Amino acid sequence: MPEYASEIRQYITDRFLFGDDEKLGDDDSLLDAGVIDSTGILELINHLEERYGIKVQDEELLPENLDTIANISAFLGKKTA
Amino acid sequence: MKTAAGLVHHFLEKSARLFPGKAAVVHEHNRADYAWINGWANRLAHGLIRAGVRPGDRVVLVCENSVEYVVCYYGILKAGGIAVSMTTDIRPDGLAEALKELAPRVLIVSPKAGKAVRALDPISLGIARVMVIGPGPAAQSLRREAASFPEDLAACPEENPGLAIEPASCAAIVYTSGSAGRPKGVMLSHANITANTSAIIEYLGLTSNDIQMVVLPFFYVMGKSLLNTHFSVGGTVVINNKFAYTASVLKQMAEEGVTGFSGVPSTYAHLLFKSPLAAYRDKLPALRYCSQAGGHMPRSLKLELLKVLPRHTRLFIMYGATEASARLTYVPPERLEAKIDSIGIPITGVALKILSPEGNELMPGKIGELVARGANIMLGYYGDEEATKKVLDGDGYHTGDLGYRDEQGFFYVTERKDDQIKVGGHRINPREIEDTIIESRLASECLVLGVPDALQGRRLAGLVVPVRETAETIEGILKYCAAKLPKYKVPGSLRIVKDIPKTSSGKPDRGRSLKFFETDRVAER
Q: Which residues contact B84 (CB under 8 A, 6 or more apart)?
A: B58, B59, B60, B61, B98, B102, B104, B172, B173, B174, B175, B185
Where exactly are the structural domains of chain A?
A: 2-80
pLDDT above 60 for B19: yes
pLDDT above 70 for B145: no
Q: Does an H or E element contain B201, and which?
A: helix B190-204
The amino acid present at B197, given as its one-letter code, is T
DSSP state of B508: B
Q: Region B489-496: what's the mean pLDDT?
A: 93
- Lowest-confidence region among B132-146, B174-188, B364-378: B132-146
Please provide the average confidence, as pLDDT, over all residues in chain B.
Answer: 91
Beta-carbon pairs below 8 A across chains A and B: 53
The reply to whether residue B241 touches residue A36, judged by beta carbons under 8 angstroms, is no
Please check whether residue B209 is in contact with residue B201, taking contact to mean a CB–CB distance below 8 angstroms. Answer: no
User: What residue in A sits closest to B244 (Cα-Cα)?
Assistant: A38
The reply to whether residue A62 touches residue B279, judged by beta carbons under 8 angstroms, is no
Measured between CB atoms, does A36 come within 8 Å of chain B?
A: yes
Level-2 CATH architecture, domain B420-524: 2-Layer Sandwich (3.30)
Is the torsion defined by CA of B31, B64, B503, B351 positive or negative?
positive
Phi/psi at A25 (5° precision): -85, 165
Instruction: List the one residue out of B60, B9, B52 whose CA is nearest residue B167.
Output: B9
pLDDT above 50 for B3: no
pLDDT value, residue B350? 98
Q: Give the residue with greater pLDDT, B385 vs A23.
A: B385
Measured between CB atoms, does A33 come within 8 Å of chain B?
A: no
- Lowest-confidence region among A6-10, B2-6, B286-290, B291-295: B2-6
Measured between CB atoms, does B100 come within 8 Å of chain A?
A: no
The interface predicted TM-score (ipTM) is: 0.87
Measured between CB atoms, does B2 come within 8 Å of chain A?
A: no
B415 three-state secondary structure? strand
Measured between CB atoms, does A27 come within 8 Å of chain B?
A: no
Q: In CATH, which superfamily holds the domain spanning A2-80? A: ACP-like (1.10.1200.10)
User: pTM score, two decimals?
Assistant: 0.89
Where exactly are the structural domains of chain B?
A: 420-524
B356 three-state secondary structure? coil
DSSP state of B463: E
Please check whether residue B47 is in contact with residue B146, taking contact to mean a CB–CB distance below 8 angstroms. Answer: no
